[in-house]
Amino acid sequence: MVKVLVSFYSKGGNTEKMAKALAEGAKEVEGVEVELKRVEETGLEDLISADAIALGSPTYYGLLAAPVKRLLDESVKIHGKLEGKVGIAFTTSGGTATGAETTLLSILQAFLVHGMIVQGDSKDKHYGPAATGTPNAEDLRLCKERGRNIALLALKLSRS
């Protein structure tokens, strides 16, 4: 059984909606267990026990939220133990060109430093799902698709 952790910080509920859609997509893959947790409730053991990690944050001034950064900063204690796991980032922001991509890249950069595997998307939202304000139906569809994709990749990697 492959485990996908979807961890998020959401003050207004928008990032949480995306997290739920990602988790829903991952749950569609047979042989995958999904855990949905607020970042404040996510510990280092949760990261270690997951085969794939989806980490979401709202965008604040082009940066990730402090609770998400705190988890990533703490993860230095487990450096080397996340190598080979699949990672994805997702975000919500207040408008276009307001820093969503820099937020996504900050999370992905931490994942890469941990030796994780990051899968982009050649079609749309290359760095990860991002929504402006409340996620619309298309945003949620993309989240669901990406959740399914990371679950499938983690499953493939577990079989190799």
**Cα separation, 142 vs 154, whole angstroms:** 18
Task: Look up the domain containing 63 and give its range.
Answer: 2-159
Q: How many domains does the chain have?
A: 1
Segment 15-20 shows an average pLDDT of 98
Which amino acid, one-letter code, is at 95?
A: G
Q: How many CA atoms lie within 13 A of 5 on its CB side?
A: 23
| C-alpha to C-alpha distance for 60 and 53, rounded to whole angstroms | 22
DSSP, collapsed to helix, strand or coil, labels residue 114 as coil
Q: What is the pLDDT of residues 94-138, one digit of tens each?
A: 988 889 999 999 999 999 999 999 999 999 899 999 999 999 999
Gap between the Cα atoms of 92 and 14, Å rounded = 7
pLDDT digits (tens, 9 = 90+) for 33-55: 999 999 999 999 999 999 999 99
The domain that holds 138 is classified in CATH as: 3.40.50.360
Q: Tell me what percent of the residues of the chain surpass a pLDDT of 90.
A: 96
Write the pLDDT tens digit of every residue in 52-77.
999 999 999 999 999 999 999 999 99
> What is the value of pTM for the model shown?
0.97
Instruction: Please return the burial class of 136, using the count of CB atoms within 10 Å of its CB with bins 0-12, 13-18 and 19+.
Output: exposed
